[in-house]
Amino acid sequence: HDPRNPGDPARTATRQSPLPGHPARPINDQEISTPESARWIRAQVWTVEANGTLRTSGMCLDVEGGNDVDGTLIDLYTCNGTGAQVWTARSDGELYNPLSAKCLDDPAGDGSGTQLEIWDCHDGVNQVWTLP
């Protein structure tokens, strides 16, 4: 599914980060936390839904607390239809959350499995994501 074309059907995706010196790889179990169960979940295969949510294992990619502050953590949370779970894929590879007006960000920028967060969009390689 292309979030810019709501009529497209959902499809399965693997998120990969094209970081210099690092091979493309799927999200791993150290990048996204699950506060509901206080444990890490293996998050490898994602479904991009027509409503802009990104889902895996029955959960949605979520901006913790619906906050709009740089550094707010990303978690997996029960899908609830709030703006904290809506993402727009931009042509430059950024995943933008309209509620926070921020982008999905890998703060370490090296693909090492760090906790993801939101940050002002800046076209850096640590904000480039691939969805088929």
pLDDT of residue 128 exceeding 50, the answer is yes
pLDDT at res. 45: 79
Q: What confidence category does residue 132 fall into, taking pLDDT thresholds of 50, 70 and 90?
A: low
What's the pLDDT at 55?
A: 92
89-110 pLDDT, tens digit each: 999 999 999 999 999 999 887 7
Q: Give the per-residue pLDDT at 63.
A: 98
Q: Return the exposure string of 86-118: e unless at least 16 CB atoms fall within 10 Å of the residue's CB, then b.
A: bbebbeebbbbbebbebbbbbeebebeeeebbb
Q: Looking at the domain covering 11-127, what would its CATH class be?
A: mainly beta
Please check whether residue 74 is in contact with residue 41, taking contact to mean a CB–CB distance below 8 angstroms: no
User: Are 64 and 74 contacting, i.e. CB atoms less than 8 angstroms apart?
Assistant: yes
Average pLDDT of every residue of the chain = 75
Q: What is the pLDDT of residue 44?
A: 60
